[in-house]
Structure formats: C-alpha cells, structure tokens
Amino acid sequence: MVGYKVSPFLWKTVARGLSAGRVQSVALRIICERDREIEVFIIEEYWEIEALLADRDKNQILSRLVKVDDAKPQIGNEPEANKIADELKQTEFRVASVTNSQKIRKPYPPFITSTLQQEAARALYFSPKKTMIIAQQLYEGVDLGKEGPTGLITYMRTDSTRLSNEAIDAVREYIKSNFGVPYLPKMAVRYSAKKGSQDAHEAVRPTYVDHPPEKINKHLTKDQLKLYSLIWNRFVACQMASAVYDTTSVDITAGRFLFRSNTQTLRFDGFLKIYQETKENGQNGENDLVDSIPDLKTGDQLWLKEIKPSQHFTKPPARFSEAMLVKTLEAEGIGRPSTYASILSTLLERKYVESKEHRLFPTELGKTVSKILVESFPNIFDIKFTARMEDDLDQIETGKEDWIDVIREFYAPFEKTLGKLTKRQKEIKASLIEETDEKCEKCGSPMVIKWGRNGRFLACSAYPDCKTTRPLESEREETETDLKCGKCGSPMVIKTGRFGRFLACSAYPNCRNTQPIPTGIKCPKSCGGDVIEKRSKRKKVFYGCSNYPKCDFVSWYKPVNSPCPNCAYSYLVEKFSQKSGLYYTCPSCRHKVVPEK
C-alpha cells in the first residue's frame, strides 16, 4: 500500500521510474543518516602509550597504559604523551596482580536467512541476492551422478535456529566418527528462537551430513561449493564442543599509572577445528592481546626497556556493508529474512545507493529521495513505526489483532497526508530545481539543474518550448593522465559515464578510442596482461586481467604489486578498516601489512 501510493508521488516530484516502500525507504534512510554522521564527524587526536618491560631474567613483556589516577587516559597531543613518558622513566614498575583463567567460546548457532546472508557477504563477498539465488539452486537440487538430482540444503527462507532430532542425531554420529569423543558434547546443543521468530522452517542446514563438500565438489559450480561449504561447516560446528582458551591478565603499577597485558592460548579447538566466523574488515577483536607473558608473580619488579607513545585519530562511524545493513535491519525488527536481498537489490537498481569496496554510499538521488520522503511522511518512514508495523502484522497473523483495525489506524492519517502533499507536488518539484548562470546554446534562456531517473542534469528553463539538455560539468569532469591513445597518440583522460570511470581519448570526437583504467600492476598470474579496473552488472568496482577471457584473474580488492612477506605469495590486496585505516593483506595466508606513513 505504501509503495503503491507513494511511488507515483516520487514520479511526479523527482523523476519517473523511482520507487518507495515501507521497508525499502527506511533502509535508505538508515544509509543516508550514517552518511550525514560521517560528514559532521570531527576527527580528534589521541595518544596511547605502551611500555616494553623486562623481568629479572630479561624476559620481555609489552604492556599498555589503561589508567592514570584511576581514570581512563585522556592524552590529547604529543607534548602530553612526552610528559607522561618522562615521568614513567623515573618510576618503578611492579606487578600488581596476575590473573589466570579459562575462556569458553561456544559454537555459533546454525544459519538462518539473515545470518547466512551476512556471513556470505563477509566471507565470500556475495551480495544477499546472489546468496539467495545460489541457496535456491542447492535447495532445489543438484545432480550428484549415480544418486541423481539431490536437494542439498533445507529451505533457505527461515528465521528459526531449530534443528530436527534426526538431523542432530546424524551430525552427532558424524562428529564422533570423524573427530572423536572429545569434540562431541555430552548433550545435543539446542538453540533458542529469538523473539518474534515465526519458526515455520528449520534452520538452514545440509539435508545429508554424509555429503561433506569435498565428497560432492565435482558436481557443484565454484560458487555453489563455496556456499554449501559454509552451510555444511556451520551446521556441523554448531553441534561440536566449545573451544577453550587459557587466558592471563597482568596488571602493572608505576606510581599513579596502571598498565595491563593480556594474552590467550588455545587449549582445545573444539568447533574451531572446522569453522570460524568472519569478522567485519577481517578484525577478530583481539588486537589488545600480546603474544606471550613470562611467568610473573605479584610484587615482582620490572625494568623499563622502552616507552612507546603512538599517535591515533578517532574514526567516524563505518559505512554500512551489505552484511552490516542486514544485521541492522534485523536488529531493529525491520523487514523479513526473505525480503533483505530484494531490498538491497532495489536500492542499487534504483541508483539510490552504490557499492564501493563493499561499502554502501548513498547517491545524490538517494539522498534527495530520502529527504523528500522523511520530510513528507515523517511517521511512516520512521524506524520505530516500521518495526511496530512488523509486530502488528505478526499479531494479525496469529489472530491477536484485527487486520481492519490495524489498517484503518494506519490508512486514515496516511491518506490525509498524501492528499495534502498531492496539492503541493508542483511546489515540491520546483524546490528541487536549481538556477545556474549558464545560458542555453539554442535559445539563450537560463539553464537550470533538474532531476531525472539517472540523476541531475542541465535543462533549458524554456521547456517545453526548448528541450535542450546536457550533463552537468561536475558529472563530466575529465582527469588528465600520462597515457597516450593507442590509435592517434593523443593524451588519454579519465571520464565518468553511466557505467563508471573509463579512459577516453582527449581528441574526441575525432578519435573515439576508449579503454578500461589500468592500475599499473601486471597480472599476478604472469600471463602478460595488466590488472584493470572493471565494473560488474551491479555497478560494483572490481579488478580483472586485460587478457580476459584467456586469463580469469579477478579480485574485489585492488592488487598491490608486492609479494607477501609471510608466505611469499605473488601479490597483496589493498583494504581499509575503521580501526586500522589503509592496510594490505595476503589473499592466501591473510597476513596483514600496515604500510609505512
């Protein structure tokens, strides 16, 4: 009802072909509000201090300053950090306490639709739409040769972590036979359903646990194998024993300062033997751990070897990845597991949002649409209202609410608001038009900036008498390069078209030569080709070999022409995280390299 009524309102005020929806527009609002948070974020400098200490036997320990005068350190600049460092050089360090304990890490529950989409996005870089398409193929069945067409997973649209007794019995027997008794809990692991779960279907799991990925891999496509392996491993892991860590925490006093060192050692791997959930940006939340701590006792004196002040800057909130957005929608109670993929696809297809380096950026069109909708329908496109409507729909389904009463309560004010806005459509549309100093080359009338389905453009203000249009200068800016055109020898320039950036000959229109943007890196597969910037069907930037299809090299991340210092793999890829900033990582061993500043 919301989409049916509000979408025509957008057609008449912005451009035809746009759409709105009760859930889709709230998702867009969430992305746009995060963008504004980032824009207004004020970066602040702060410093951390670490101390390299040694015990009586010259064993070293790295420790971080965690308190100053029993409060969290507030070190705002280098002079303050140096002042503390000078004071510490004159202070005695002693062990205040040593705490040894065990940390139990329980296995993850089996996949539901939303968690499957999130993990596939993080680990495999699959969009929610792609994940659901491949899951549908696995569910409908794959030809396994002698066994014939076989459905490999249970129904993939579910919000329940429930597992059948038959599935639990089968996987427990598999764990006992293949991993041994220590990996099998005494009792089957049961996972409670979240609030509001419809529980109509089981969790997403393999239909036959005795079809491990390596047994049927020859019957699956590359992407099917990746997703099936993820589902199979998660299912088996959910019924395995917990992982156990030995942890040590040492507090060290130095006058009014308190330092702390933490370390943990894996005692028993448990479910981690076959499955480890991927964290956003590759972070596992263990950056405050040191490699090892010597055998220390309370009261031991330590000697200062080196003070290490380090400069840092606060980071703005992270832009949403597709996985993060799905998680946020689920946490807020917005939408259904079966709708997340279509919501994200619609935002991208409508060009409200674009994906860069696996992050979602609102376009100017998306920001404008969101602003109009939120200002025009503040109650309907409110996060709490949308979540409350989901609850009302659940109550209707279970017979606890009357659908007529619920719809009447919503529809009367909605229809009234829509009626008022319909009268103001011309006014709202006029408010989106921006005047310029440019003149129409055909009739001399002033040119104005208008909105169309593909974004903003220049149009003659004398429309419909004069229908002159042209792209905005800002949309067609050209960046010069040192490259020469292979056809006429003129300099090549970087242009931006409807499908993204590309190289074009500066002698256009006399020479119409175009080509993808090279990265300056030779193909890691040593085929003689160059790594070039490309765009997928969904307008995502990725990197591939110029010799395609002869060479199938492809990477979502920009390759760096440097071998891995850990495993000597031929290249690294460039990544960015809110905590680490720009860094490089090895596609083979995941070794992380922070470039020198």
d(CA 247, CA 244): 10
| Residue 476 DSSP one-character state | S
Q: What is the dihedral of CA 486, 488, 489, 491, to 10 degrees?
A: -90
Least Cα distance to 133 among 587, 538, 535 occurs for 538
Tokens found for residue 352: 């409200």
| Residue 111 DSSP one-character state | B
- What are the φ and ψ backbone dihedral angles of 303, each rounded to 5 degrees? -115, 135
Name beta bridge partners: 204: 111
Number of C-beta neighbours around residue 539 at 10 A = 16
Tokens found for residue 172: 């427990």
Active-site choice (46, 155, 245, 548): 155
Helices (H) and strands (E) in the chain, counts: 14, 26
Tokens found for residue 168: 């639990």
d(CA 495, CA 203): 48
- Does the N-terminal peptide bond of residue 8 adopt cis geometry, omega within 30 degrees of 0? no
Cα–Cα distances (Å) from 162 to 128, 198, 231, 232, in that order, read 22, 11, 15, 16
d(CA 151, CA 136): 10
Q: How far is CA 297 from the centre of its chain?
A: 44
Contact partners, residue 324, CB within 8 Å, separation at least 6 = 280, 318
Helix axes 24-40 and 340-349, enclosed angle (nearest 10):
60
Edge-to-edge strand ranges of the sheet holding 469-470? 434-439, 446-452, 455-460, 469-470
Alpha helices in 89-212 (DSSP H): 113-119, 128-140, 165-179
Rg for the chain (alpha carbons), in Å?
29
d(CA 183, CA 189): 12
SS3 191: coil
Asked if 275 is an active-site residue, the reply is no
d(CA 353, CA 12): 21
* Residues identified as active-site: 155
